[in-house]
Structure 1
């Protein structure tokens, strides 16, 4: 696939815990970005390491034995959206998405989310999603890692217009932990994905809908780079059209949506019908915002916190077909998976304690792997 596209000319926003641009594989890959939270520490501060890991899966260059991502010539726009006590989650995500759009991100990766009472609880986030779609961007979000623990609906993945991403293993089977339901639009590999070990040197295997979302975002970047005149609707449509469909049941499947992403079908086999430029394939035609081309990113944008007023707050075959095995080979060559993380990686930043409050967690968990019983 890299002979056709490596993501040139595409900016991917990573809305997360921040991105550390000093790790070898991300040197020169990370724009200035911003910290939109109320306890700003800077977009390049990442105490959890989660945002850095997602950025590396997307745009890592493999430099100095580091991770090589799926779209190594994209640029990363870090948008730190770490929640703080008393910070309204809806307003926080709304600000993050708007900042990403206004600073040239065609693809917005949100490997985080939280539960809530329903879409009506997130009006600012929904408005920002609509704004992103109208400006020609795509928003990918992990559906969550509690499919075997009550399967709560998480946001923003469940909001209309957001591409909710589930996780599959090397056998193209949805993982037990991947949340399921009508919010799942697509699926991507979410098992045995390399990342930096947290408590030791070297590489560790990770799992979750977080890395699956990063791989989906990188796939969109590859396709968009090869077809720069396509709109966001057309990029999404070919991703859906060329996805590996469920072997049983109806489409969309409640486990993997329209299927597992296969960007090589677009890049190497020239498959997929982009269709009409102005109709979002996930939304009724009447609700499809008219897309326009986003502004080019500005590398000199100030990273100062855009503080709002308080008033604003009121399968193996799949993996080989995807090309991900080649994309992450640099990490495997740099260090074997000598240490395997088996603890939970669902970091929960400070958040409101009210049960109905939208509480952000990172959509990367590492429960013991068991394939989903319905084997979609």
Structure 2
């Protein structure tokens, strides 16, 4: 199997947000702006400064339903990077439509560009991890990287990515890393969800793990980490991720959900507020502003980064920052960066196959297992020698053996 195809299918099978965002069984209507998440992000106060006017946010996901009432005509859709024609299916765009609604709840005057790069679980072509091993689909191998480049070339100022792979075998994709650098080089802010594997293996995830990406953890109403949110050093900030009300394609209303998916989309909305008001700020400057105005800006931890985003504080701080765009050369592969003064401050993570903590545990367990095997072999061999040397019952009149 090609690594790229396996990785793409892995996104559909263990997609950290598509499979991990848990949607409540019962739907109930709730007006936009009434959820606790908007108050927690200080969005009402931020709307006195910016509502995201004129900014396009690309939502790279499972597609969107443009006619959903919650989106209210504020969304369009680009190419389907899976190369399919499923828009009329009842399940189409379930996750992506919800993510678009979160962006627009925060930035109501923004526009969403939906780009389909993964499948919803209800899709008949959706594959589990085991199925992807047996029936790889190379068509999806480069969907995410192609969608990122398309967004950068078609007017997006913010890219929201509530998906990812938590696969220890093929986590890093050089092509995707280059696509993100290409977007950054064009002044596009890239936001990605941290993942929902924090209470399990807590593996390194991508695209959130690529340099230059703003990584967002899921937080609770108290501001702490949601129990499922992935814990890693690349987590920059946190945003509400529990009991979040997003657009539902079945009921045409809203349902409650949880996961780092909505946390990432909400933060992308905050980035849109900043970019709309201060369009000359570089992506790195937007990231710095979000971090420096979060709930604990002087203390970073891998659970929630610098804390919960505060949209109003971020906008006020952005007004005091002198825009200093710094564009690095972009080669044919798309390498380069647009991080503000200097580079993005993050070392390249080429070929990082597995989380260091997981690797250490695996090595320790392997050594223990090896020791047990060697001990068992020595015991067996020792027992055999003892049996060879132990005299059996001697027949009457037989002389004892000579050692």
- The answer for the alignment partner of 1:50 in structure 2 is 95
- The answer for the alignment partner of 1:264 in structure 2 is 312
Superposed counterparts of 1:262-301, under 5 Å: 262-268=310-316, 273=321, 276-278=324-326, 289-290=337-338
* CA distance 1:264–1:118, change in 2 (3 Å): farther
Post-superposition CA distance 1:94-123 (Å, at most 9, x none) = 101001111111110011111234787301
TM-score normalised by L of structure 1: 0.66
2:66 to 12, 18, 21: 21
- The answer for the alignment partner of 2:229 in structure 1 is 178
* CA distance 1:53–1:274, change in 2 (3 Å): farther
Please identify, of 131-140 and 258-267, the stretch whose mean Cα deviation from structure 2 is larger. 258-267
CA contact (8 A) 1:100 1:108 kept: yes
Post-superposition CA distance 1:162-183 (Å, at most 9, x none) = 1111011110011110000112
- The answer for the alignment partner of 1:8 in structure 2 is 53
TM-score normalised by L of structure 2: 0.62
Superposed counterparts of 1:1-376, under 5 Å: 1-41=46-86, 47-59=92-104, 69-82=105-118, 85-87=136-138, 91-117=142-168, 121-196=172-247, 202-245=253-296, 251-268=299-316, 273=321, 276-278=324-326, 289-290=337-338
What is the rounded CA distance, in whole Å, between the counterparts of 2:253 and 2:73 in structure 1?
22
Residue 197 (structure 1) shift: 5.2
* CA distance 1:14–1:264, change in 2 (3 Å): same
What is the rounded CA distance, in whole Å, between the counterparts of 1:11 and 1:108 in structure 2?
9
Secondary structure at 2:142's aligned position in 1? Answer: helix
> Which structure has the greater CA radius of gyration?
2
What is the rounded CA distance, in whole Å, between the counterparts of 1:239 and 1:43 in structure 2?
38
CA contact (8 A) 1:30 1:75 kept: yes
Residue 291 (structure 1) shift: 6.3
Post-superposition CA distance 1:222-244 (Å, at most 9, x none) = 11111122222222221111111
CA contact (8 A) 2:215 2:236 kept: yes
Q: Which runs of 5+ in 2 are unaligned?
A: 1-45, 120-124, 126-135, 329-334, 341-352, 354-403
What is the rounded CA distance, in whole Å, between the counterparts of 2:85 and 2:138 in structure 1?
12
Secondary structure at 2:86's aligned position in 1? Answer: coil
Q: Which runs of 5+ in 1 are unaligned?
A: 60-68, 281-286, 293-355, 357-376
What is the rounded CA distance, in whole Å, between the counterparts of 1:238 and 1:169 in structure 2?
22
* CA distance 1:245–1:279, change in 2 (3 Å): farther
* CA distance 1:82–1:46, change in 2 (3 Å): farther
What is the rounded CA distance, in whole Å, between the counterparts of 2:319 and 2:226 in structure 1?
27
Post-superposition CA distance 1:27-52 (Å, at most 9, x none) = 32112411111434359996251100
* CA distance 1:111–1:23, change in 2 (3 Å): same
Higher share in helix? 2
Post-superposition CA distance 1:317-348 (Å, at most 9, x none) = xxxxxxxxxxxxxxxxxxxxxxxxxxxxxxxx
Secondary structure at 2:190's aligned position in 1? Answer: strand
Post-superposition CA distance 1:5-37 (Å, at most 9, x none) = 110011000000101010112232112411111
CA contact (8 A) 1:239 1:272 kept: no
Could you say what the CA RMSD is over the residues aligned between the two structures, in angstroms?
A: 2.9
Q: Taking CA–CA contacts closer than 8 Å with sequence separation of 6 or more, which of the two structures ends up with the larger relative contact order?
A: 1
CA contact (8 A) 2:280 2:325 kept: no
What is the rounded CA distance, in whole Å, between the counterparts of 1:12 and 1:42 in structure 2?
20
- The answer for the alignment partner of 2:3 in structure 1 is none
Post-superposition CA distance 1:58-107 (Å, at most 9, x none) = 12xxxxxxxxx110010001100125651365522110100111111111
What is the rounded CA distance, in whole Å, between the counterparts of 1:35 and 1:272 in structure 2?
40
